[in-house]
Amino acid sequence: MTSPTKLLCELIALPSINPAFAPANDPRAGEKNVADFLASVAAQGGLDVDLQEVLPGRFNLIARLLPAGKVRQRIVLAPHMDTVGVASDEQFHPQLRNGRIYGRGACDTKGSIAVFLSALLNLAAAKKRPVSTEVMLLALVDEENGQAGSRFVARSRFKADLAIVGEPTRLQIVTAHKGDLWLQLETRGKAAHGSRPELGRNAVHEMAKIVNLLETRYARELRKRRHPLLRHPTINVGTIAGGRQPNIVPDSCAIRIDRRTTPGENDAAVKREILSFIRRHGLSATMIDTKHEEPAPPMETSLKLPLVQQFLQAAKQTKPVGVDFFTDAGVLASAGIPSVVFGPGDIAQAHTVDEWVAVSQLERGTKLLGRFLQSLP
């Protein structure tokens, strides 16, 4: 039997910081070492291995277990290989303390990789493998930045009957999550000398009123829109910048907004809604397109799908679960691949200096997923 604990320790020791969070030419950046390691382990376990170039030098890892007969359905196990940055290289030295494994990526999402690959290798080593179901590990690049790995798969028109996307969910099967929309608003004023402010028009003051409006009245409106699993949409004004120096009336100010969406909302309608809400309260702002950003849509998968029901039964889970954060599942689901989110660990530990995952979660997750995979026809 493959040990997910040993596998996770080996993965943590291989830095795979997303290049967006690392200095140029940082040897710790990129997923290549992890992809090469997984390719070697998977091949030794009898899986068919391939690498899919997504960005220069950055490859999705594919490891397939083909069925005994003709492929009639496909299950995809899709964790991501990249991590955020580190405060110290000590975070690449896995430590086992009090039943927990500490290290960068322990729960987000090298813990999921360890569980998924262990379950798949155990299935490959079993006397009986699925007759008509292909099971594939699809380890993705770039989730922590632009989701280039999953977007590449979505654009390729790849098809699967179910994708199980690895994220720390405390081994709960998540069938819905929020989308994420980043926006920039700008107010324009008129510059004047700071000694004669009445001759100018203060763009920062105008923006301050807009920030207050969005964080109070608009936020209250959003709280009225209830979703059975995701509560309600949210808004957060995350950055503000305006003016040049204290003795000049500022003629411009900009804020950046994080707007979390729920199923049924779309980005274009949300943008119109925010501008209309501002105008209705006697204020004015322009929405600025700083760069093209790929959609980050919300995801909701029907519990009526047979494979979803089968997975829930294998996990002995009776109720659906939703989460507030965005994942690769939203990208894959928008491309027509029914998706759920599942993995060891808690999102509260993700991206922290002392990131950890419980060994019991790794072992239980491997057994739970293995039970589902073994039930496939």
| pLDDT at 290 (0 to 100) | 66
Other C-beta atoms lying within 10 Å of the C-beta of residue 24: 6
Q: How many angstroms separate the CA atoms of 332 and 75, rounded?
A: 13
Domain ranges of the chain: 4-177+298-374, 184-287
Closest of 100, 98, 82, 103 to residue 13, by C-alpha: 103
**What confidence score (pLDDT) does residue 40 get?**
98
Report, at the CATH architecture level, how domain 184-287 is classified: 2-Layer Sandwich (3.30)
pLDDT of residue 292: 59
The confidence score (pLDDT) of residue 317 equals 96
Nearest CA-CA partner of 224 in 216, 215, 233, 214: 233
pTM value is 0.94
Do the two domains 4-177+298-374 and 184-287 of this chain adopt the same fold?
no
pLDDT digits (tens, 9 = 90+) for 301-328: 999 999 999 999 999 999 999 999 999 9
165 membership: H or E segment, kind and range? strand 162-166
**CATH superfamily for domain 4-177+298-374:** Zn peptidases (3.40.630.10)
| Burial classification of residue 207, based on how many CB atoms lie within 10 Å of its CB (0-12 exposed, 13-18 middle, 19 or more buried) | buried
Q: With pLDDT > 70 as the criterion, what percentage of the chain qualifies?
A: 99
Q: How far apart are alpha carbons 367 and 258 in whole angstroms?
A: 38
Give the pLDDT confidence score for residue 335 in this predicted structure.
96
Helix (H) or strand (E) segment spanning residue 367:
helix 359-374
Ramachandran quadrant class, 73 (left: phi over 0; alpha: psi -120 to 50; beta: rest): beta
In the block, which residue shows the tokens 């006397």? 127
How many CB atoms are located within 10 Å of the residue 144 CB? 21
Exposure letters 176-203 (e unless 16+ CB within 10 A, then b): bbbbbbebbbbbebebbeeeeeeebbbb
Residues 42-56: pLDDT tens digits? Answer: 999 999 999 999 999
Beta bridge mates, 231: 227
Chain centre to alpha carbon of residue 143: 6
CA distances from residue 292 to 18, 74, 152, 239, 260 in whole angstroms, order as listed: 20, 33, 16, 19, 18
> Average pLDDT by consecutive 10-residue portion of the chain (377 residues)?
94 98 94 98 97 97 95 97 96 97 98 98 92 98 97 96 98 98 96 97 98 98 97 98 97 97 96 97 91 84 97 95 97 97 97 97 98 96
* SS3 assignment, position 19: helix
Alpha-carbon Rg for the chain, nearest whole angstrom, is 23
